[in-house]
Structure 1
Amino acid sequence: MRSMKVLTALAAAVTVGATHLVHALTGTAVAAPNASGGEAVPVVAGMTTLALNPDLGMTGLVSMKVGGGKLLVHGHAISGGTVLLKGGIELKAGAKSAKLSNLAIDITTGNVQAKLNGNALALGNVDTSTLRLRKDPGAKQMYVNIGFSDENNIELTQSAATALSQALGIGLEEGDVLLTGGVAAGVDLDKQMASVLNVDLEDAIDAGIDIDVELGQDIDASTSLDLALL
């Protein structure tokens, strides 16, 4: 009598063989799992309310807008993603100046990357564990808000504090709040996103949305939509 291990191996081989046969006959490609744990939804719009912290001994002009990125979704959850910011921040302290550009927020980790005078820099960190989802009634885009509370700011890494201190001749420390405000990444509200929200697409479009969700946790916006429906 064959052992259970042998039978299991044979069953797996039959399943794989059948799968390859179906793909050979239909020409359908096998969808490889996303290594980052989710399907990518493109960021197609956005808004920022970022401002430079005035207590750090420098002045600056913040001129940035959302320039792309992706939202990662898995089942009924937002699992991560990246928001790219165009433009930059002109910093001044006395006679010295520096420029931050190419900011990128990793929603998965909260890490913020940038370039300082053209050189790559691990700029800071922002808490992305809680995200706020918002849309107006009738709108076909939804915004994922990062950094929407007064306590949720972009704080400097040690390497960024050192690099900015040297560039501007001031004393910055790890954990100093560089930027206040938030970023809103807009995605199309389609069948895929309605499924993530666990609601019907038509109801999601008709309704307004204003809910907080936890990164990686299942979302059920049905109750909120019922309250917001016109």
Structure 2
Amino acid sequence: MSVMLSTDDAHLPPGLVLAWGLPAKSNKLGRKPTQSVEQIVEAALELADADGFAALSMPKIAQKLGLTANAIYRYVRSRDELLVLLADAAWGPAPDVDAKDWRSAATAWTQAMVDRCDVHPWLCDLPIRGAPMTPNLLGWAEAILKVLTGARLSPSESLSCALLLDGYARRIASARRDVRDSATTDVQPAAVARFLQPRLNELGYSTLAALMAGGQYSDEIHEADVSFGLDRILDGIDVLIAQKA
């Protein structure tokens, strides 16, 4: 059966009706469906995990399921609609961040975002087209908003702080993914340091030269670096909370 827009659905974002488990309006024409929307999303998830975001084309997903290129549109109306469903499935349910204090809970939530992007690195490439509206993404938003409003921030302040933490998690995850993907076994950090250090000294880059001499300048993103940046963000939120008190 072919998926068709109802009058109300036409004013909603792509994929929202299906993401909430509601059937889109359809006509009765065509063969009986051999797949389900859930199977389409699962196939797309496997394809993205194996070959990255660039591999997510409707023909490739259809081929993986043994469908014709046109048949897949009987289940989802467009690639945009599929990406909405795929994002909700990949992020999954929100983490349990029931910690003893707001700072520990916010740290756990942000780390959970980074970890989820490590599981599905292509999540960093998904376009963000507005506020969360699908079940799992709303669950992630609700989890951090409860933490921040519980720390005496207003709902609007909490939302702004949540956006800040969300952006930090995505940026760290993206950077870690890029560094991981670009790493080659032929490159030796010690050889790079021996090549660069005299040139840094010669050009007057004394601070960089000192960091490199101490082994503190590398292309790796360590957990200590992630924690340092997150702690500075949380320090700023702490000041805001103190002002409220």
User: What TM-score do you get using the length of structure 2 for normalisation?
Assistant: 0.28
Query: Whose strand fraction is larger, Structure 1's or Structure 2's?
Result: 1
Query: Whose helix fraction is larger, Structure 1's or Structure 2's?
Result: 2
